[in-house]
Structure 1
Amino acid sequence: MTLTVWLTFLVAALLISVSPGAGAVNSMSSGLRYGVRKSLPTIAGQQFGYGVQIVLVGAGLGAIVASSNTALMVIKWIGVVYLIWLGIQKWREQPVEATRADLSGFSPRQQFWNGALVNLTNPKATIFLIALFPQFLVAGAAHGQQLATMGATLILVDILVMVGYALLASQLFRFMTTPKRQRQMNRVFGGLFVTAAVALASFKRA
């Protein structure tokens, strides 16, 4: 992969990550509640899920999922249900004392797997990667190395963007000093999770 091709792919990767989606909502929700540092397990989990998608596509299994309506529909509706569940949980979440040092219920392992499931249950990522990768593969060159480069680029860019989203959301914490404001923000993010679920439910392959 030449530098020019890689830079073009880098721009595409940046646009993909910046585009709001379930991962961005999840990162912002975690950043608002826990702060940037404690959002890292969530972001790491999302990258694990993203990485699995990349490996599946690179190994050719993504093509099998993409060609099977049954497999695609099962993954799709698992993702829809999971996002709705996250939305309901966020909507019902109780206000907490306005100091992050005393926040309860934080589990890095749970945050990691929550983040992983958000990306693992998103078939749009599989379809997108199958459509994206061939556009940048150079014929005659080793595909493995090219796919590894593109996969690493996607993940590194997504990490930076998701940390940025978490940082942006964490700045809102200073305004979340009253139970009323916390409930309002929880319901905003709960609604965003459900909106992401509706968007996923309406997704149809071309």
Structure 2
Amino acid sequence: MSFAHWLPFAIASAIVIVIPGPTVLLVVSYALGHGRRYALATTAGVALGDLTSMTASMVGLGAVLAASATLFTAIKWVGAAYLVYLGVKLWRAPVVERDAPDVSETRTARVFAHAYAVTTLNPKSIVFFVAFVPQFMDLHAPMWPQAVVLEATFVVLASLNALGYAILASSARRAIRSRKVQRAVNRTGGTMLVGAGLLAASWKSASA
């Protein structure tokens, strides 16, 4: 595809990605609660989640979700419930000591799975991709090579954005020494995730 088609997509994607959503809230919550140890795990989860959503959109799932109110609602509620679950879990999480040992591989894998699930189980993202990506494609050129380039661009930008949020949040965490303040951070992040879940549940498809 031409640079003239790619550049507007990259700029528009960067603007969309930098706006905090459920995925960013999850990344920030883990970074504030546990530092940089989860940064790579959450970033990888976000990258794979976006890759899954965009690929599903490209093969037609976005059109199915846009057309089927029942399927859209089912996936919406699954994603919303998962966000609420994570929010409640974070709210109740014990305060982590600054010198606590590194987490195990199993725990890191669980964090990766959380980030992947939150990113993937968002029907709004799938419908968004199927409506957003075609606007920047050249109708006179083969579709799949363009789709691969645009998908790779979005995933890279989303990964850098998630990693940036994680690093900034973990840097702010270093200034937090009080157990009371750390507990407040966990509860604030938990509340934000629950709120994101409720907002996701209230979001309706254009066909609903």
Q: Same fold (TM over 0.5)?
A: yes
For 1:190 and 1:23, how far apart are their aligned partners in 2?
Answer: 13
Cα offset for 1:170?
Answer: 0.4
The corresponding residue for 2:185 is 185
C-alpha RMSD over aligned residues: 1.5
How far the C-alpha of 1:35 sits from its partner, in A, is: 2.7
- 1:176: how far off? 2.3
2: CA distance, partners of 1:31 / 1:94: 15
Segments of structure 1 that go 5 or more residues without pairing to the other structure are none
Which stretch shows the higher mean deviation, 194-203 or 123-132? 194-203
Deviation at 1:188, TM superposition (A): 0.8
- 1:31 aligned onto 2:31: yes
Matches within 5 A, 1:11-50: 11-50=11-50
In structure 2, C-alpha distance between the alignment counterparts of 1:84 and 1:103, rounded to whole Å: 26
Q: How far is 1:22 from its partner?
A: 0.7
1:127 equivalent to 2:136? Answer: no
Corresponding residue for residue 93 of structure 1: 93
Q: What does the per-residue CA deviation read over 1:111-158, in whole Å, with 9 as the maximum and x for residues that have no partner? A: 111111101210010110011012111112010011111100100000
Distance 2:174 2:36 in 1: 14
Corresponding residue number in structure 1 for 2:205: 205
In the alignment, the residues of structure 1 paired with residue 7 and residue 188 of structure 2 have an alpha-carbon distance, to the nearest angstrom, of 36
1:65–1:71 contact (8 Å) kept in structure 2: yes
Deviation at 1:19, TM superposition (A): 0.7
TM-score normalised by L of structure 1 = 0.94
Provide the C-alpha distance between the structure 1 equivalents of 2:33 and 2:188, rounded to a whole number of angstroms: 13
Query: Structure 2 CA distance, aligned partners of 1:102 and 1:36?
Result: 13
Distance in 1 separating the partners of 2:9 and 2:122: 22
Does residue 1:160 correspond to 2:154, yes or no?
no
Give the aligned partner of residue 102 of structure 1.
101
The count of corresponding residues between Structure 1 and Structure 2 is 205
Structure 2 distance, partners of 1:177, 1:42, is 24
- Runs of 5+ in structure 2 lacking a partner? none
Runs of 4+ in 1 over 6 A off after TM superposition: none
SS across alignment from 1:35 = helix
Contact between 2:72 and 2:205, CA under 8 Å: does it hold in 1? Answer: no
Letter in 1 for 2:136: F
* Distance in 1 between residues matched to 2:111 and 2:10, nearest whole Å: 28
